[in-house]
Structure 1
Amino acid sequence: MKRHLTPELMDDPDLPASEHRTALVGLARLNRVALAGRSPWMGMADLARASNGPLSVLDVATGSGDVPIECARRARREGLDLELHGCDLSEFALSQASSRAREAGLSMTCFQHDMLASAPSETYDVVTCNLFAHHLDEDGVCTLLRNMASVARRRVILCDLRRDRIGLGLAWLCSRLFTRSRVVHVDAIKSVRAAWTLEEMRALAARSNLDEASISPCFPRRMMLSWEPS
């Protein structure tokens, strides 16, 4: 199945706020159904359990923040604290992330930043990115990974879709079962067609000088990259 990258409706700056809001709600619902917070949390849980204080986590291209918020919920169930930070290009998405964090009884520092232009000035224990790499070309993914690695003190975690026909079928079915958002119906299919395979992601990690990165499949038809600075 050949990769096919096309602009997604969610990325249109002229998308009406009402449609954007409905799409973010739909995506959050899909992420809950897909247990999207499970793999990132499993990727950092050992660090949180061994930490003497809150583990600082930056989520890149955070959108409405539902994945890092779910990680913090899972940490809280174990009596652990995550210090949440999120960056995104969209001010609207960041406002939604801040609101969702407050509703969950959490604090999340959100700031506007283009991770493809430069790395943030601060460093963090863990830098995560969820469901963003499929929006990018090869050079974009490499820039993203390098900038994430440059501000990660302990670990980089990147989770995304895998490109295959089963994933395509799941995207079509679940997007229609769990949301009425036209944007999500269209973008769910575009996202899988634009996703990377495990082999492609391994090559991109190596090209980004993350040679020791671990890249493995995870539920449902997704992948997780984990890398630690030496």
Structure 2
Amino acid sequence: MSFDRVREPVWIDDPSLDAAEFQRVRIDELRLNQVTRVADALYPLITRYQTSAAGRPLTVLDVSSGNGDLAVRWAVKAARDRRDIRITTVDTNRHAIEEQQRLAKRSAVEVRSVQWDCFQSPLPHGFDVVISTMLMHRLDDSQAFRLLQSMQISCQRAMIVCDFKRSRLNCALVNVASRLLVRSAVCRHDAVARIHSSFSEPEIARIARSALGRPVSIRPLLPCHYVLVADEAVQTEMVPAFA
């Protein structure tokens, strides 16, 4: 059972948050991502497009990538599997970009990190796969619509969206997990706020079909996420459905 969407600001976006507290939040978020194994679940969705890029690296753009733990995990798994995958991350936060590079260095992999505001500038083009994780819940309908269109223009093969799914069960699960697994009050608040702010599956599917002008597939991703994929090579006319 779901409930009405209520967009709540996340405390990590507070510009007065100092670098030390930001780092504590990111460590807690990394722990939560490790427990939910989101990176491992998304990895095969990305690598299945490797054959489409035969003879050259598979290029991946990770939009609003936070501390980069998912992107670095994909790079580590690709190196272990001897897959030639080039990952670029974009995020607006300077602290996040710095943390991405520290994490990549510790993991002995290469990830290109770029400070980039995807709402002030179009996403860079030419990537095989463009993926967004844990971002849509921060956006209103029109912002989600525009981002999905920008992702479609940027990708050559597929776009993937993964985020929290709003439901009473997920809200309860996240509330308990955040109290057991994290230390930062900022992270505990933000974990629950993100569920309240998230789209339901029907809501994000409706926005995606309107923005992209083509079918999308969407399914649950345990424990409390959904994943949306659009990978049909369909030429579409972008219609500004939101003023």
What range is the shorter-chain TM-score in? Answer: over 0.9
Aligned partner of 2:56 among 30, 53, 63: 53
1:97-176 equivalent positions in 2, closer than 5 A: 97-176=100-179
For residues 104-146 of structure 1, the C-alpha deviation after alignment (integer angstroms, 9 at most, x for no partner) is 1111111111112232343211111110100111011111111
1:5 is paired with a residue of what secondary structure?
coil
Aligned residues: 230
Q: TM-score, normalised by structure 1?
A: 0.95
Shift of 1:220: 1.0
Q: TM-score, normalised by structure 2?
A: 0.90
Paired residue for 2:31? 29
Paired residue for 2:4? 2
| Letter aligned with residue 165 of structure 1 | R
For the 8 Å contact 1:49–1:80, the answer to whether it is kept is: no
For residues 16-57 of structure 1, the C-alpha deviation after alignment (integer angstroms, 9 at most, x for no partner) is 111111001110110011001023212112112553332111
For the 8 Å contact 1:84–1:109, the answer to whether it is kept is: yes
Q: Please list every run of 5 or more consecutive structure 1 residues that lacks an aligned counterpart in the other structure.
A: none
For the 8 Å contact 1:134–1:161, the answer to whether it is kept is: yes
Q: Are residue 200 (structure 1) and residue 203 (structure 2) matched?
A: yes
| Letter aligned with residue 124 of structure 1 | F
For the 8 Å contact 2:125–2:153, the answer to whether it is kept is: no
C-alpha distance in 2 between matches for 1:40 and 1:157 = 9
For the 8 Å contact 2:68–2:89, the answer to whether it is kept is: yes
C-alpha distance in 2 between matches for 1:93 and 1:168 = 26
User: Aligned-pair RMSD on alpha carbons?
Assistant: 1.4
Q: Please list every run of 5 or more consecutive structure 2 residues that lacks an aligned counterpart in the other structure.
A: 235-243
For the 8 Å contact 1:119–1:150, the answer to whether it is kept is: no
| Letter aligned with residue 82 of structure 1 | I
| Letter aligned with residue 87 of structure 1 | V
Change (3 A) 1:221 1:121: closer
Shift of 1:210: 4.5
1:37 is paired with a residue of what secondary structure?
helix
C-alpha distance in 2 between matches for 1:205 and 1:105 = 36
Paired residue for 1:67? 70
Identity percentage over the alignment? 27
Single out whichever of 212-221 and 192-201 deviates more from structure 2.
212-221
C-alpha distance in 2 between matches for 1:3 and 1:89 = 25
Paired residue for 1:187? 190
C-alpha distance in 1 between matches for 2:131 and 2:171 = 24
For the 8 Å contact 1:145–1:208, the answer to whether it is kept is: yes
For the 8 Å contact 1:101–1:108, the answer to whether it is kept is: yes
Q: Are residue 213 (structure 1) and residue 216 (structure 2) matched?
A: yes
C-alpha distance in 1 between matches for 2:119 and 2:146 = 6
1:110 is paired with a residue of what secondary structure?
strand
C-alpha distance in 2 between matches for 1:65 and 1:75 = 15
